[in-house]
Amino acid sequence: MATWWAASARAGLRAWALPSRLRRLSDISSARNGDLQATLEPDPVLFSQEHNALQESLRKIIDKEINPFIDKWEEAGQFPAHKIFKILGQAGFLGVDKATEYGGMGLDFSYSIAVAEELGNIRAGGVPMAIGVQSNMATPALSKFGSNELKQQFLVPTIAGDLVACLGVSEAKAGSDVANIHTTAVRKGDDYVINGDKMWITNGCQADWMCLLANTSDAAPHKNKSLICMPMKLPGVHINKKIDKMGMRSSDTAQIFFEDVRVPCKYLIGEEGMGFTYQMLQFQEERMWGVAGVLKPLECLIQETIDYTRQRKIFNQPVLYNQTVHFRLAELATEIELLRSLLYRAVALYIKGNDVTKFASMGKLKAGRLAREVTDSCLQFWGGMGFTNEVLVSRLYRDMRLISIGGGADEVMLSIICKYMDTIPRKM
């Protein structure tokens, strides 16, 4: 049975003969979002010529240093974070919106969004996610609230790409319910002594330090937490395992245990007891960054689906000529543009100092939902070919499923939006 299937699949793959430019996932000359965007001027809504110049130079790094190796890293279940972060750090891409005195570019958050969008040209979700953890998830709180000494020690080398960072919030028993984490950091003399565990930690197997959320007192759950810079190569830090995942395969994800890990109290970020608040603020950037990261992969998928279904003939006509196919793709392309508009509005408000929690949550919710729709519809139109590991659509189908779960599940986003709409049921 297995032999029959394998033989027919091999014969079938040959017969379906993809256009050569679509054959390899890492073939960066393949059709991509440029085709969809070709007629558009640089986006005047949020992005200036400077944003576009930044994107162009990042694109060169992606084309030379990342995409040619991505299939290999996906297979290995890890990419070389230190090597790639050093390249990105030297070019300034890990601290676009961080202060120049710490090695950043000193630009506003819209430039980080331009970078996040451009990283969407990487032909797998794992590497952009890992880069985002380094540049916009583990470091915003340190950058905003950390002491100068702490920033010199952790932020400067992270922006330079000399250190790999990870973010330790989720635990095996507390993912969505962040307030319920159990890891403790107890003051003993000049040290915190850390005990507990962290789960699902991106970059966790390679990281040099963690932005750790831990309970530092017995106060109420929103007032008992602190963020601490915790070096990873310390006695008592045990990387229990690299988690085997269905998607985001090139990014390593770790489960980590802490057993009496001693960290100097001066590694505390900002004020003790403010960790929950800092983390919620950090989440806003993470969520907008995440929305920006889905736009190009989804546009790319639609374009590759157009190209494939145009040349794939069944019942004597291209698959694309079925109205249900081209209408669906038009519908999805429209939704991507709507998502982009929501994101740009949120970012424009954010850089002017507004609280954009509601819009960032709406964007994250919509990004997760839309990613599922686009990847599922496109995969369907590729037929059996879409079900192989030969094409980008199946990889993104797996990778992008995470968006509705990680960094706050869809239901958590809905709860936040409902709080802003004042529709959460109250005790009668």
User: If DSSP codes are grouped into helix, strand and coil, which group holds residue 262?
Assistant: strand
239 is a site residue for ligand FAD (CB under 6 A): no
The residue among 84 and 166 lying less far from ligand FAD, judged by its C-beta, is 166
Query: Is 286 part of the annotated catalytic residue set?
Result: yes
For residue 247, the minimal CB distance to ligand FAD (Å) is 8
Classified as helix, coil or strand, 251 is coil
Structure tokens at 169: 């919030």
* Of 291, 314, 312, nearest in space to 371 by CA: 291
Applying CB under 6 A, does 405 fall inside the site for ligand FAD? yes
In single-letter form, the type of residue at position 240 comes to N
Which of 245, 326, 345, 398 is in the footprint of ligand FAD by CB under 6 A? 245
* 55 vs 251, beta carbon nearer ligand FAD: 251
- Residue 202 binds ligand FAD, judged by CB under 6 A: yes
- In this complex, which beta carbon is closest to ligand FAD, that of residue 200 or of residue 359? 200
In whole angstroms, the minimum distance from the beta carbon of 307 to ligand FAD comes to 30
Q: Which tokens belong to 372?
A: 């599922």
Task: Report in angstroms how near the CB of residue 170 gets to ligand FAD at its nearest.
Answer: 3
Kindly tell me which of 90 and 176 has the beta carbon lying closer to ligand FAD: 176
Cα torsion for 246, 252, 253, 259, to the nearest 10°? 150
Residues 247-276 that bind ligand FAD (CB under 6 A): 248, 253
Site string for ligand FAD, 301-320 (x = CB under 6 A): --------------------
Instruction: Please identify, among the stretches 108-116, 367-375, 380-388, 399-407, the one whose residues bind ligand FAD according to the rule CB under 6 A.
Output: 399-407
Number of residues this chain uses to bind ligand FAD (CB under 6 A): 23
Distance CA 244, CA 159 (A): 29
| Strand pairing report for 191-202 and 165-168 | unpaired
Helix (H) / strand (E) containing 260: strand 253-264
Q: Pick between residue 180 and residue 389 the one whose CB is nearest to ligand FAD.
A: 180
Query: In the complex, which residue's CB is closest to ligand FAD?
Result: 175
Q: What type of residue is 52?
A: N
Scanning 10-18, 48-56, 112-120, 401-409 for contacts with ligand FAD by CB under 6 A, the matching segment is 401-409
Q: Which stretch binds ligand FAD (CB under 6 A): 45-53, 107-115, 157-165, 398-406?
A: 398-406
Q: Given the residues 286, 299, 331, 390, select the one marked as catalytic.
A: 286
What type of residue is 210?
A: M
Indicate the SS3 state at residue 331: helix
133 counts as binding ligand FAD under rule CB under 6 A: yes
402 binds ligand FAD (CB under 6 A): yes
Q: What are phi and psi of 28, to 5 degrees?
A: -80, -5
Identify the residue among 77, 103, 120, 175 touching ligand FAD (CB under 6 A): 175
Cα-atom radius of gyration of the chain, to the nearest Å?
A: 22
Q: What is the Cα–Cα distance from 311 to 332, expressed in whole angstroms?
A: 21
Beta strands 253-264; 165-168: pairing state: unpaired
Instruction: Answer for the pair 265, 190: CB distance below 8 angstroms, yes or no.
Output: yes
Question: Do 204 and 253 meet the contact criterion of CB atoms below 8 Å apart?
Answer: yes
The DSSP bridge partners found for residue 229 are 211
- The distance of closest approach from Cβ of residue 114 to ligand FAD in the complex, given in angstroms and rounded to an integer, is 23
Which of the residues are catalytic? 286
**Given the rule CB under 6 A, which residues bind ligand FAD?**
133, 166-170, 175-176, 200-202, 245, 248, 253, 402, 405-409, 411-412, 415
